Chains A and B, each alone.
Chain A
Amino acid sequence: MSPASDGAGGTPLGHFDSIADVAAGLKKLDYVADDTIAGVVYLADRLAKPVLVEGPAGTGKTQLAKSVAELAGSRLIRLQCYEGLDESKALYEWNYRKQLLRIQADQSASSWERLEEDIFSEGFLLTRPLLEAIWVDEPVVLLVDEVDRVELETEALLLEVLSEYQVSIPELGTVRATRVPLVFLTSNNTRELSEALKRRCLYLHVDYPGLTREREIVRRRVPGISEELADQVARIVRSLRTLELRKPPSVAETLDWARSLVVLGMEAVDAVTARDTLHVLLKYQQDIERAAKELLAGGA
């Protein structure tokens, strides 16, 4: 075992009792998890390891972290990644204005050594999400969203936090987590993440759901939808995904579509309604045309 995962990553966090417990709990919060998702969340809790969630956009990766936070009764701390994210935005920064004020206020009195000690103390530190997550003394779920957007070099910032749950600050020493947070990283797979990062995480691939799960999701997340309509929506979406589209409909879009059907007061989807509302589901004109042709104009 590498010394990295030897550190804090051994003791179970103890939020959940069993896989079934996770699945049932998430379901209560209207997040329909399949066996794999529930299993990996449970393992993350037991092994105290971060989870790297990968998959197409709009399949509920971010929502998973939010729901788990709610389930575990933890605060959600979120770090949205983007190109150009750096240390001072992700980890910590010294509040230099406050430091300057402190120096000016103190000009005559104390010796420089004491002053230096003072201005590099915790009171002058601005915590950013990663440090915040291990600093606070309450259960926390840390969500590092769209981690594939940062540059390869910035990824390295995450490594220490992810494997040992600590942050080293040169002036202050090492800050260790008092409570190990549950960490989720999401990625849309626009680039290959580094081996080092992947090795430290449990990997969870979230794909488009199957028919039964999608139906369940629609029923739970769209208030006032009838059993039949939910079924029909899920079936149509499944058929659409078998076509070769530029962007197959995601779960988020399925939900949008189901909601608009409910708002329009539809009891069932027929060809005309489907054609008129297809733009909610598909985002490219060419896809819409194709779907209309394949699905609605017959020819099975």
Chain B
Amino acid sequence: MLDLLSGFVAELRAAGLPVSLTEHIDAGRAVHEIPLEDRSALKAALGATLVKSGAHWGAFETAFEIYFAPRRGAAVPGEDDAAANVPEGGAAAADVSGEGPARGRSGGGGNVLSAEELAAMVLRAVRTGDRAVAAVAARHAVERYAAMEPGRPVGGTYYLYRTLRHLDLDGLLHRLMEEERTASTLTALEERLLADEYRARIAALRKAVEAEIRRRLVADRGAGALARSVRRPLPEDVDVMHATGEELAALHRALRPLSRKLAVRLGRKRRHGRRGPLDFRATVRRSLSTGGVPVDPRFRHPKPAKPEIFVIADISGSVASFARFTLQLVYAISAQFSKVRSFVFVDAIDEVTAIFERADDPANAVRRVTTEADVVWMDGHSDYGHALEEFDRRWGGDVTSRATVLVLGDARNNYHASGAWVLEQLQHQARHLYWLNPEPRQYWGSGDSILDEYAVHCDAVVECRTLRQLEGFVAELA
């Protein structure tokens, strides 16, 4: 057990979770206190001792499922009593398909069900929400469709995709809803609730399929090897430019609490920062109790100037997702800045401050920016030179010495003129000029990237590929 635990901890560390030695020891003590055959208790024990942040729970869960997967034969994870009525469930499913109970009864064995029988079982699993049936259906589905090849070093996404494509779960939802609609008249509310219920059951089925595939992969290749191939970066370390849809969704979820946290932290920093200038009146008043000797000098509360922010973002296809995140974050904490103005460009530039001010939700606003702003001039490929010149012509006068200018972009200019003189001028006008680049540092200045030409005029050029880097930069800024 302790060896297994050490392997597990090593895997968590490799996935980026900060697990200290104390925590490892605590986990060791914790597993002594619980009945080891109880899988959910084991999960609670390890989770409580090893994972100390809600954002890391996903990574923990993946590793846990791999290292402590229920062995073959113990059918449903965490539901021992459900395993008892599995054969019955299989038989009933076979009944539905009209093929007689004999085949279904051997469901737990190697016997492969026909496609119709399987479809009927899946339908039954979703219609009744019976988890035991879902688990059996998942096992058969994987058996039949995944066509797993032993020894291949894959994480199983491909098998999952293959299985799910054959099961056609979206179509299933549609069919079930149609059925319900014809069976009885539903109000909009009832229909919605029913659909959500089916969706939840389908998600459970999908999970069962995933678990089954994982179980087989572990049996085939061992836990350590599999964990390596399914390892994912933590949400705050995901590269924004290359995030998958699912990761983007996770990032969006992470962004909201992050902006709240940043706002709280920045507010605190302001109020508790260094002491302000001497408060003469208060000091004199205070000195009365010491006979007019100013023993205890009083200071004013500091009122540091809030910076004015100009965000100039490239929203062309290549960096769009990055620009969206940054704009969203800057707006979410805009209370910390006295004024935020934002401009977006592709090869023409447009001000979008108003869109953000009117919208209640930054996510919505960002969506509207991409559709409403007038950013295309010639061909819709990034042209930094033209955009910067236009910025200078139209808004250059507004940039004062209190302003901080942020340029977001990869500086891939499609071999147009650079317009770097605008930045030179901005640097003189503004207090600070920063360039945030979502590209890895080693690509800067390669190909059509002319970052080097701009970089000489910036106070700093910051690599900003992940949420963690972005957070760090914003905290530094304010």
Q: Is the CB of B257 within 8 A of A189?
A: yes
Q: From A122-130, A136-144, A290-298, give the one contacting chain B.
A: A290-298
Q: Is the CB of A191 within 8 A of B265?
A: yes
In the complex formed, the residue of A with least CB distance to B181 is A300
B45 on the interface (CB 8 Å rule)? yes
Q: Is the CB of B29 within 8 A of A47?
A: yes
B116 on the interface (CB 8 Å rule)? no
* Given A295-B188, A295-B192, 13 further pairs, Cβ under 8 A: A36-B40, A36-B43, A42-B33, A46-B33, A151-B268, A191-B264, A205-B47, A207-B54, A232-B193, A246-B360, A294-B192, A296-B189, A299-B188
B196 on the interface (CB 8 Å rule)? yes
A1-B25, A54-B54, A199-B52 known; A274+B189 contact, CB < 8 A: yes
A270 on the interface (CB 8 Å rule)? yes
B261 on the interface (CB 8 Å rule)? yes
- Residue interface mask B1-45, A partner, CB < 8 A = 1: 000000000000000001010110110011001110010110111
Q: Is the CB of B192 within 8 A of A43?
A: no
B452 on the interface (CB 8 Å rule)? no
Contact among B23, B43, B47, B188 for A297, CB-based, below 8 A: B188
Q: Is the CB of A189 within 8 A of B54?
A: yes
B197 on the interface (CB 8 Å rule)? yes
Report how far A19 CA is from B187 CA in the complex, Å: 43
- Residue interface mask B339-382, A partner, CB < 8 A = 1: 00000000000000000000011010000000000000000000
Q: Is the CB of A39 within 8 A of B188?
A: no
Q: Is the CB of A211 within 8 A of B188?
A: no
Report how far A40 CA is from B49 CA in the complex, Å: 9
Q: Is the CB of B22 within 8 A of A5?
A: yes
Q: From A96-104, A213-221, A233-241, A253-261, give the one contacting chain B.
A: A233-241
B148 on the interface (CB 8 Å rule)? no
In the complex formed, the residue of B with least CB distance to A294 is B192
Interface residues of B (CB under 8 A from A): 18, 20, 22-23, 25-26, 29-30, 33-35, 38, 40-41, 43-45, 47-49, 51-54, 57, 78, 177, 187-189, 191-193, 195-197, 200, 257, 260-261, 264-265, 268, 272, 360-361, 363
Q: Is the CB of A36 within 8 A of B193?
A: no
B57 contacts which chain A residues (CB < 8 A)?
Answer: 205
Least Cβ–Cβ distance between B222 and chain A, in angstroms: 28
A276 on the interface (CB 8 Å rule)? no
In the complex formed, the residue of B with least CB distance to A40 is B48
Q: Is the CB of A39 within 8 A of B44?
A: yes
Q: Is the CB of A296 within 8 A of B52?
A: no
B18 contacts which chain A residues (CB < 8 A)?
Answer: 195
A202 on the interface (CB 8 Å rule)? yes
B44 contacts which chain A residues (CB < 8 A)?
Answer: 35-36, 38-40, 43
In the complex formed, the residue of A with least CB distance to B272 is A151
Identify which of residues 265-300 in chain A touch chain B, using a CB-to-CB cut-off of 8 Å. Answer: 269-271, 274, 286, 294-300
B78 contacts which chain A residues (CB < 8 A)?
Answer: 35
Least Cβ–Cβ distance between A6 and chain B, in angstroms: 10
A198 on the interface (CB 8 Å rule)? yes
B261 contacts which chain A residues (CB < 8 A)?
Answer: 189-192
A203 on the interface (CB 8 Å rule)? yes
Q: Is the CB of A202 within 8 A of B195?
A: no
A58 contacts which chain B residues (CB < 8 A)?
Answer: none
A66 on the interface (CB 8 Å rule)? no
Q: Is the CB of B34 within 8 A of A300?
A: no
Q: Is the CB of A239 within 8 A of B193?
A: yes
A151 contacts which chain B residues (CB < 8 A)?
Answer: 268, 272
In the complex formed, the residue of A with least CB distance to B193 is A235
Contact among B35, B47, B264, B268 for A203, CB-based, below 8 A: B47
A271-B187, A298-B191, A300-B177 known; A43+B25 contact, CB < 8 A: no
A157 on the interface (CB 8 Å rule)? no
Report how far A236 CA is from B192 CA in the complex, Å: 9
Least Cβ–Cβ distance between B172 and chain A, in angstroms: 15
A274 contacts which chain B residues (CB < 8 A)?
Answer: 189
Report how far A299 CA is from B177 CA in the complex, Å: 12
Q: Is the CB of A19 within 8 A of B52?
A: no
Report how far A235 CA is from B189 CA in the complex, Å: 11
Can you list 29 contacts pairing A with B, beta carbon distance less than 8 Å? A1-B22, A1-B25, A19-B38, A35-B44, A35-B78, A39-B40, A39-B48, A42-B34, A43-B33, A43-B34, A43-B48, A198-B52, A199-B22, A199-B52, A201-B52, A202-B26, A203-B47, A203-B48, A204-B48, A205-B47, A211-B200, A235-B193, A239-B193, A270-B187, A271-B188, A286-B360, A296-B189, A297-B188, A298-B191
Report how far A201 CA is from B260 CA in the complex, Å: 24
Q: Is the CB of A203 within 8 A of B188?
A: no
Report how far A51 CA is from B52 CA in the complex, Å: 11
Contact among A39, A51, A298 for B41, CB-based, below 8 A: A39
A242 on the interface (CB 8 Å rule)? yes
Contact among A195, A204, A300 for B192, CB-based, below 8 A: A300
Identify which of residues 36-58 in chain A touch chain B, using a CB-to-CB cut-off of 8 Å. Answer: 36, 38-40, 42-43, 46-47, 49, 51-52, 54-55
In the complex formed, the residue of A with least CB distance to B57 is A205
Q: Is the CB of A239 within 8 A of B192?
A: yes
Least Cβ–Cβ distance between B112 and chain A, in angstroms: 33
B51 contacts which chain A residues (CB < 8 A)?
Answer: 203
Report how far A239 CA is from B158 CA in the complex, Å: 30
Report how far A40 CA is from B51 CA in the complex, Å: 13
A39-B41, A191-B264, A300-B177 known; A47+B47 contact, CB < 8 A: no
A269 contacts which chain B residues (CB < 8 A)?
Answer: 189
Report how far A47 CA is from B360 CA in the complex, Å: 47
In the complex formed, the residue of A with least CB distance to B268 is A151
In the complex formed, the residue of B with least CB distance to A285 is B360
Q: Is the CB of A270 within 8 A of B189?
A: yes
